[in-house]
Amino acid sequence: MAFNFPIHAKTSLGGLVVASVVLFAALTGHPGSASAQTMGPTVFAAASMKTALDEVGALWTAKTGKKAIVSYASSSALAKQMEQGAPADVFVSADIPWMDHVASKNLIRPETRTDLLGNELVLVAPAPTNEKIALAPGVDLAAMIGDGKLATGDPASVPAGKYAKAALEKLGVWNEVRPKIAGAENVRAALTLVARGEAKYGIVYSTDARAEPKVAVIGVFPKDGHPPIVYPAAITKDSTHPDAAAYLAFLKGPEAMKVFLGQGFTVPSK
Name the stretches of the chain with pLDDT < 50: 1-37
pLDDT at 12: 34
pLDDT at 270: 64
> What is the per-residue pLDDT across 69-101, written as a single tens digit (0 to 9) for each?
999 999 999 999 999 999 999 999 999 999 999
Picking from 220, 190, 213, the residue whose alpha carbon sits closest to that of residue 202 is 190
pTM above the 0.75 mark? yes
Picking from 67, 77, 126, 70, the residue whose alpha carbon sits closest to that of residue 102 is 77
Q: How many helices (H) and strands (E) does the chain have?
A: 11, 11
pLDDT at 36: 44
Residues linked to residue 39 through DSSP beta bridges, in sequence order: 67
SS3 235: strand
pLDDT at 14: 38
Q: Which domains does the chain have, with CATH numbers?
A: 2-118+230-262 (3.40.190.10), 121-225 (3.40.190.10)
End-to-end CA distance of the chain: 32
